[in-house]
Structure 1
Amino acid sequence: MLLKPRHVGVLIGSLRHGSLSRKLAKALIARAPATLDCHIIEIGDLPLYNQDLDSSPPPAWVSFRTELEACDALLFVTPEYNRPMPGCLKNATDVGSRPEGTSLFDGLPAAVVSVSPYSLGGFGANHALRQSFVYLNLAVMQQPEAYIGNVSDVMNAHGAITKKETDDFLKTFMQAFERWTSTAQTAAEDFDTFLARREQISSEYIQGKAAPLIAISTASDPATFFPPNGNPVVGAEKVNAANTMSAKIFGKGSVGRFEVFQSGSSGGLGFWTGIQHADMVMEGKEERLTMQLRTTEVFRIEQGEWKLVHRHADMGNVK
């Protein structure tokens, strides 16, 4: 199953339209693997963070926070101003992390690239950002580090990379970042705990309650459901509609359990496979139906939560 590209927000620490940082950010985006969907989030119009405005945030804050909320990862590209990061970038992290307790940075995979026309490559700004990110709980890629010094010697006035060594490094960096965005994803709930909750949700579903299942199901493609009747359902909207409709055939008093043969999670994905046992009351009927389904389910982390993206169920014993 091919997963959709991860949505990467690119924040640039220079506001100048023709800045070296912006040119390099575009060069990095051009070298990103197809599994990363990178776009620049503009920060130049953000009013300075002021706690007095928390109750009625400026429209620019709202728009910026909405863009952040849609991101699966962040890439920061920054020059160095008087050794630390530029003020506009610090302000952006303040706006995105407040009000207290609502930070949109928490747990996101991230990477930092610093740019300079001088030999140190913006080392000070790079590490000033990293220090701030410790508190913001951004999961920052440690290697490879990226300090692009003497940038005018490796990039022309139009932003084209002119040295093969730099071109190769930028490609390597973005490939490493792609791997990092996959392995660094974390969920607020560990997978074993989630799987126990998934079993309870299954029992609620066969009592006619579709809402709990829909809540843990992805709303984004790709999503697939291979039901026992052999007619696959493809697409999140269609899968959720099918699950909502099917719940209506079940009545109160049904009970179920999972017999898990194998389960696990890694790199933002989780799965279980085994037998789904169900002793069901059908809506409008008195007799009970006992069923066993050979089941495999796949989940992925979306915005810090496990979401069901694939379900395959084959009919076992029916009584």
Structure 2
Amino acid sequence: MRTFLARRAGLALIQLFVVGTIVFLLARLIPGDPARAVLGDNATEDQVAQVRELMNLDAPQWEQYFGFWGNLLRGDLGVSLISGRTVLEDLPVRMGNSLELVLLALALAMAIGIPLGRLAATKANKAIDHIVTGGAILGISLPVFVLGTLLLLVLGVWWPVLPPERFVSFAEDPLTHLRVLLLPVLTLTAASTAVVARMTRSAMLETLSADYVRTARAKGLREKHVVRRHALRAAMLPIVSVSSVELTTLIGSTVLVESIFGWPGMSSLLMNAVTVRDYPVIQAVVLATATIVIVVNLIADITVRALDPRAESV
């Protein structure tokens, strides 16, 4: 396990370095001048030149590149070119808002999807199996922006159970925050629940037909015990793997969900930064997202090895 962790930690550092280099280069390929975006279209060339000098944008690219990594190693993510605040003032709050959506959606998806998949597998080719499978196909097929818009229209306008409200932090008003949180979480949960349910069903069907499960039945063990202690435990390996993939998918889906529901998360922060060519914010958000994805994949690998000791020798 130590060798595995050391190897994965080294790989993670390489991945972060590659991501940081790519985002540094791509951010500077965005059309437009950040200095002009700060001052507006009516600014003179002299004013733009002064601001570019203050922002260090007139320095050579290689000097900006090494300065970027030097600041990053010191824990300095830079100052927003537009707001004038340090990136660390806004990023933790926005990251917390996005992770609140993503983690709640994933927790609900697993809490609902695993029992549904288990039920469908134990009732294979029966009515309940067809219902779960059909619902899963519908959930996977329905795009996030369509489902989010429908939920907002139906539950917010036609049948105003959850009317649109301004975002309020949990500390400011817990009840209002939970009401505002519900629709975006449900939007993200739908597709992930469908994926988890289908994976659970497939994994359970495979393990239920395995030799050791038939042996457990032959020993006279109760069916519930066989399903829970033998089949479901073995099926958890692919479920954990697909859940880690779903977490990264949910992070990507927040771009649309945050836009639809006006949720102030990392995705909306990134989109605004790209629009005004705010290099420090773009770099910080992408690196923070990459770090989350890498850590999630590492945790998933460790969990799989803990569930299956044979993976230690892989």
Q: Judge same fold: TM > 0.5, yes or no.
A: no
**TM-score with structure 1 setting the length:** 0.19
**Structure richer in strand, relative to its length:** 1
**TM-score with structure 2 setting the length:** 0.20
**Structure richer in helix, relative to its length:** 2
